Chains A and B, each alone.
Chain A
Amino acid sequence: MSDTATRPPTTTSYAETGSTGRPSWHALLRWESALVLVLIAVLIFGSSKSSTFLTPTTFFFTGLNMGEVAIMALPLLLIVMIGEIDLSVASMLGLSGAVMGHLFQSGWSIWAAMGVALLVGAVGGALNGVLVANAGLPSIAVTIGTLTLFRGVAEIILPTPTTRLIPTSLTKVGVVPIQGTQLAYSAAIFFLMAAIFAVVLHATALGRSLVAIGLQPESAQFSGIRVRRIRFGLYVASGVICAFAGILFTLKNSSASYGAGSGLELTVVAIVLFGGVSIFGGRGTVLGVVLAVIIVGSLQQALTQMHVQPEVQNIVTGALLLISVLVPNSGEALRRIRERVRRG
């Protein structure tokens, strides 16, 4: 046993490990490439099953069907990015429609009714925001509560669907595409919003803050990021945007009913997760969500054209969702299984 105290001081014994590090966006890009491949497969599948699949009409109807869901997916993307969740999105869509419908039915102008609906969206979002960001309550429980609450208030406000005729200049958003194109209005709005969200998430200080909050909330707070304010703000934004989706939904159907969009919340969540956004926060791209929207939309359209019942189409959504979480984890899982087998 030699005394090593006289040995010259060793320099750092920790190897610099840069070469093994993989930037996190790398994996994401791969997921998005996979989504592109899936999309191509879906398009080939659709056109092989139905000669009318690859037509402008299909494109229009896909946009029309997916528009509101897609729009609600954008704020949810940001909320999931910071590691929270909002299950009240579809109820807010219903509530906003009910408020707008009720006011319009009682003689308000349609524009004023829509304004109040947006305001209700902000208030409802602020309620979520206060409970999650300020009171520190778990967002999943809070938004299950407001999911029920918003739907309930919608029922109270508007027990029966509206009958007063909404001006056709507005309801045409649910009937015809934007002039000269085959793009549904709601789809066009979605793509515009997606572009804005992409810039915000991927290029601004706010977007970087969201990533930091999602990955390491404490580090974000210690870096001077206003974590609480951002959390609150995102819920308000989600409320307003879902209220806006509710307006589009009402205009599309030319009538409001309290049950509008019932159960869509899980579809929106599924799309966001399928788009490669990590449920733990911090990882995800707008591009992924856009691709997920297009894939789910075209697949539904293809299956509808094949006269597959809507319930059955759920299998596809579920399977895609499962694959989206299993594939990135499969290497790790296989390693564990092998280890377990080896140990007996």
Chain B
Amino acid sequence: MKGFIAVKSGREEPVVAEQPQAPLLVLAKATKSFGAVQALTEGSITLYAGEAHALLGENGAGKSTLVKILAGVHRPDSGVLEVGGQPLTLHGPASSRAVGISIIYQEPTLFPDLSVAENIYMGRQPLAAGRRIDRARMRKDAEAVFAQLGVALDPDRLARGLSVADQQIVEIAKALSLEAKVLVMDEPTAALTGVEVERLFEVMRTLRNQGAAVLFISHRLEEVFASCQRVTIMRDGRYVRTAAIEDLTVDDIIRSMVGRDLDTLFPKTETVPGEVILQVENLNREGVFSDISFEVRRGEIVALAGLVGAGRSEVARAIFGIDRRSSGVVRISGTELSNGSPQASMAAGMALVPEDRRQQGLVMELGLDQNIALASLGRLSKFGIIRRASEGAIALTWAERLQLKFSRLKNPVSTLSGGNQQKAVLGKWLARRPTLLIIDEPTRGIDVGTKAEVHRILDGLVAEGMAILMISSELPEVLGMADRVLVLHEGRLTAELSRDEADENSIMRAASGLDAGAAA
């Protein structure tokens, strides 16, 4: 890594001079821990003017922590940050912005009660005489940014109710309007369609031409190959390597990311599907998804794939009864379930491990025992009184069976690592001995070791005859684990692929609506 030399890669044209130059931003050996959890052990990255630089790593590799250090949200425990050769300390988001760093977060951070234009210019609204906010100019500036992005969004409308994609566009507009020297994009494309992604790449190109550096985080490697010149890979909170994109193959990247060969990760064994457990017919939820029909059989894992915002979690919520369905029928082993009742679904043998374990899966301040017992309180009580002994016993049983590492059952689950928290949610539901397990993002944000363990657990469960509906944004996980893949695009099922038919290409086409578009 001796100075940066721009090279032809993919369709990208080199936009920087071919001689060594001083880096625009250097973060060296940053560390950050939260309590006893070391989130970042060695965060290092070097960005040059005019480059698009991909930051890759699995969930939990420390990318988000690194981004938040650049954003001024987290202060590193140690390490050096230099911008334009000047070492500096960021005191908060404002000072990060002041040195020319702009961030597009994975989760949009909008003000629902304010107009789109104001969302873009919050805290730096254009001023007229007397320090009044110049609304007309703010509006015009916002329109200009949208024109640059080629989208038709009304700057005067409230941000409340924007689709996820439109929210992301507002975020991009915000970053664009800052005319930042360093633009950090944390999975900006997760919710975007193909055309919108193309447009984003164009914006990246424009920014690079203006001498900005773009730090691009994405799970879609093809996007990285299409838009970036250099790649930095992280694993388990540590810097692994930086290389020019043309020196790398997909296999190299994955091996660096996971630290081992891919095929050992997913131990799904062949099973023979049994009778139908879950039957979903013409499921609708107005404005969210429509006409969803499928079956899940005993002993099979069916994956529900699609882009973020396609409605996958929403389908799961409606099946389980968290949300009411507008129409349609859900049956478990032939029995129709009443609408909008998680209790009925649970009684019929359904379990749902939700996508957000901190908000939906666990009660973070309660102990492991109380969390595991939470879905089984009825069975653990006698005359309404919870039997503490049974509560402890059931928790211990499942903690051991799932090899959950903990120090004391009573300690709040917030003290556990992400992987062990996920096992706690699993334990909570397996303790009910369900016949159908819906699991939403089974391995999001957990370390590599535990990830494989979770996959082994799921494999074991189907081998014992459970039916599993798995929602996952990680294609390798879908391809490795699923017997069948259902693909959702904007609230509609666009494909049902067998294990043989499913590959990265077929799933992504269906997820982007390309196949459905051709059919229509």
Asked whether any CB of chain B lies closer than 8 Å to the CB of A33, the reply is: no
CB-defined interface of A1-14 with B at 8 Å, one 1/0 digit per residue?
Answer: 11111010111111
**A23 in complex: contacting residue of B235, B367, B417, CB < 8 Å:** B367
Once bound together, how far apart are the Cα atoms of A199 and B36, in whole Å?
Answer: 36
Asked whether any CB of chain B lies closer than 8 Å to the CB of A203, the reply is: yes
> What residues of A have a CB within 8 angstroms of the CB of B346 in the complex?
224
CB-defined interface of B401-433 with A at 8 Å, one 1/0 digit per residue?
Answer: 000011110111011111110000000100000
Dominant SS among interface residues on chain B: mixed
**A21 in complex: contacting residue of B1, B359, B385, B414, CB < 8 Å:** B414
**A5 in complex: contacting residue of B252, B362, B380, CB < 8 Å:** B252
| B241 close to A16 (CB less than 8 A) | no
Given A18-B408, A224-B343, residue A11 in contact with residue B449 (CB < 8 A): yes
**A9 in complex: contacting residue of B241, B352, B449, CB < 8 Å:** B449
Given A14-B419, A203-B385, A205-B381, residue A23 in contact with residue B343 (CB < 8 A): no
State which of B255-263, B272-280, B457-465 sits at the interface with chain A. Answer: B255-263
| B386 close to A4 (CB less than 8 A) | no
Asked whether any CB of chain A lies closer than 8 Å to the CB of B394, the reply is: no
Q: Which of B365, B373, B416, B417 has the most CB of A within 10 A?
A: B365
Q: How many A-B residue pairs have CB under 8 A?
A: 149
Given A10-B449, A223-B374, residue A17 in contact with residue B416 (CB < 8 A): yes
**B37 in complex: contacting residue of A17, A203, A222, CB < 8 Å:** A17
| B259 close to A24 (CB less than 8 A) | no
Once bound together, how far apart are the Cα atoms of A66 and B158, in whole Å?
Answer: 50
Q: State which residues 234-283 of A face B: CB under 8 Å.
A: 282-283
Q: How far is the CB of A199 from chain B (nearest CB, A)?
A: 8
Chain B residues with a Cβ closer than 8 Å to the other chain, count: 64
Q: Which of A20, A205, A218 has the most CB of B within 10 A?
A: A205
| B362 close to A9 (CB less than 8 A) | no
| B374 close to A212 (CB less than 8 A) | yes
> What residues of B have a CB within 8 angstroms of the CB of A218 in the complex?
356, 359-360
Asked whether any CB of chain B lies closer than 8 Å to the CB of A226, the reply is: yes
Asked whether any CB of chain A lies closer than 8 Å to the CB of B447, the reply is: yes
Once bound together, how far apart are the Cα atoms of A282 and B374, in whole Å?
Answer: 15
CB-defined interface of A187-228 with B at 8 Å, one 1/0 digit per residue?
Answer: 000000000000100011110110110011011111111100
Q: State which residues 1-57 of A face B: CB under 8 Å.
A: 1-5, 7, 9-24
Given A15-B36, A17-B37, A222-B352, residue A10 in contact with residue B374 (CB < 8 A): no
Asked whether any CB of chain A lies closer than 8 Å to the CB of B218, the reply is: no
| A223 close to B375 (CB less than 8 A) | yes
Given A23-B411, A215-B364, residue A205 in contact with residue B386 (CB < 8 A): yes
Once bound together, how far apart are the Cα atoms of A268 and B346, in whole Å?
Answer: 39
Asked whether any CB of chain B lies closer than 8 Å to the CB of A343, the reply is: yes
| A224 close to B375 (CB less than 8 A) | yes
Asked whether any CB of chain A lies closer than 8 Å to the CB of B377, the reply is: yes
| A222 close to B354 (CB less than 8 A) | yes
> What residues of B have a CB within 8 angstroms of the CB of A208 in the complex?
370, 373-374, 377, 386
Given A5-B252, A9-B449, A203-B386, residue A20 in contact with residue B36 (CB < 8 A): yes
**B241 in complex: contacting residue of A4, A13, A211, CB < 8 Å:** A4
Once bound together, how far apart are the Cα atoms of A257 and B417, in whole Å?
Answer: 59
| A223 close to B428 (CB less than 8 A) | yes
| B322 close to A221 (CB less than 8 A) | yes
**A7 in complex: contacting residue of B259, B342, B359, B420, CB < 8 Å:** B259
Identify the closest chain A residue to B428 (Cβ).
A223
**B259 in complex: contacting residue of A4, A14, A212, A220, CB < 8 Å:** A4
Once bound together, how far apart are the Cα atoms of A343 and B90, in whole Å?
Answer: 12
| B406 close to A16 (CB less than 8 A) | yes
> What residues of B have a CB within 8 angstroms of the CB of A10 in the complex?
235-236, 259, 448-449
Once bound together, how far apart are the Cα atoms of A11 and B449, in whole Å?
Answer: 6
Q: How far is the CB of B56 from chain A (nearest CB, A)?
A: 13
| B362 close to A24 (CB less than 8 A) | no
Once bound together, how far apart are the Cα atoms of A59 and B322, in whole Å?
Answer: 51
> What residues of A have a CB within 8 angstroms of the CB of B448 in the complex?
9-10
| B259 close to A1 (CB less than 8 A) | no
**B363 in complex: contacting residue of A9, A219, A224, CB < 8 Å:** A219
| B363 close to A21 (CB less than 8 A) | no
| A21 close to B384 (CB less than 8 A) | no
> What residues of A have a CB within 8 angstroms of the CB of B408 in the complex?
18, 21
**B417 in complex: contacting residue of A1, A3, A16, A212, CB < 8 Å:** A16
Asked whether any CB of chain A lies closer than 8 Å to the CB of B38, the reply is: yes
| A17 close to B36 (CB less than 8 A) | yes
| B378 close to A205 (CB less than 8 A) | yes
Asked whether any CB of chain A lies closer than 8 Å to the CB of B242, the reply is: yes
Once bound together, how far apart are the Cα atoms of A1 and B247, in whole Å?
Answer: 14
Once bound together, how far apart are the Cα atoms of A245 and B364, in whole Å?
Answer: 37
**B362 in complex: contacting residue of A17, A18, A219, CB < 8 Å:** A219
Given A14-B418, A212-B366, A223-B375, residue A9 in contact with residue B259 (CB < 8 A): yes
Asked whether any CB of chain A lies closer than 8 Å to the CB of B35, the reply is: yes
| A13 close to B322 (CB less than 8 A) | no
Given A9-B259, A216-B359, residue A15 in contact with residue B378 (CB < 8 A): no
Q: How far is the CB of B416 from chain A (nearest CB, A)?
A: 7
9 interchain residue pairs of minimum CB distance: A18-B407, A14-B417, A21-B415, A17-B36, A21-B411, A205-B377, A5-B255, A13-B236, A216-B363
12 additional A-B pairs beyond A19-B36, A205-B381, beta carbons within 8 Å, are A7-B259, A13-B236, A13-B237, A15-B37, A17-B35, A17-B415, A20-B35, A204-B385, A212-B363, A216-B362, A224-B346, A224-B375
6 CB contacts below 8 A, A to B, read A5-B259, A15-B38, A15-B417, A18-B411, A21-B408, A215-B366
Q: Which residues of B contact A (CB under 8 A)?
A: 1, 35-38, 41, 91, 235-237, 240-242, 252, 255-256, 259-260, 322, 342-343, 346, 352, 354, 356, 359-367, 370, 373-375, 377-378, 380-381, 384-386, 405-408, 410-412, 414-420, 428, 447-450
